[in-house]
């Protein structure tokens, strides 16, 4: 079942790079009593993800903060080493975006946003989406129709939907 507006996000264990290596992050800890933007994408270092999706949240970061968003989180089905390196290479981390790894596709699968395209090596990857979550409840959900597009799920589109 695919997550929809009004649903409560399921808890999941994600990974982030800490000073001593990979560190577990409970999604519920990120959501409780907080307004959070989450965007998911097919993979680190992929074309549209690197040239459009991540940058769209970098340029809108301050605007989201002005609207009361506590954190912007990027989730991809990659390992935490890759997510850290990608966050650094795109400057997303410097911009304030939290890069979380859904290494086993736990969260992505739970919310029904998983897909596979084995011809290009994508197995249980994330569809492209963005959402506004308030205290764990999905308030706005924007899912792309194609993983190669980034319009519906772009930062600018989500920001405009908050007005």
Whether 150 is catalytic: no
Q: Among residues 25, 64, 62, 70, which one has the least CA distance to residue 163?
A: 64
Can you tell me the distance from the alpha carbon of 106 to that of 162, in angstroms, rounded to the nearest whole number?
28
Burial code (b: 16+ CB inside 10 Å, e: under 16) for 59-75 equals ebbeebeeeebebbbbb
Can you tell me the distance from the alpha carbon of 11 to that of 94, in angstroms, rounded to the nearest whole number?
27
Catalytic residue among 49, 73, 76, 158: 49
Structure tokens at 37: 């933007």
For the chain, the residue count is 163
Q: Please identify every residue annotated as catalytic.
A: 49
């Amino acid at each position: 079942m695919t997550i929809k507006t009004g649903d409560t996000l399921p808890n999941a264990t994600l990974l982030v790079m800490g000073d001593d290596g990979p560190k577990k992050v409970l999604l519920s800890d990120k959501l409780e009593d907080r307004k959070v933007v989450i965007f998911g994408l097919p993979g680190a270092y992929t074309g549209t993800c690197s040239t459009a999706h991540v940058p769209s949240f970098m340029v809108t970061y301050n605007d989201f903060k002005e609207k009361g968003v506590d954190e912007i989180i990027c989730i991809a089905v990659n390992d935490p080493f890759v997510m850290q390196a990608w966050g650094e290479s795109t400057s997303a981390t410097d911009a304030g975006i939290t890069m979380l790894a859904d290494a086993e596709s736990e969260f992505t699968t739970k919310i029904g946003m998983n897909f596979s395209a084995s011809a290009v090596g994508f197995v249980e990857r994330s569809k492209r989406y963005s959402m506004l979550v308030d205290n764990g409840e999905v308030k706005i959900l924007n899912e792309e129709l194609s993983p190669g597009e980034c319009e519906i799920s772009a930062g600018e589109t989500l920001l405009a939907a908050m007005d």
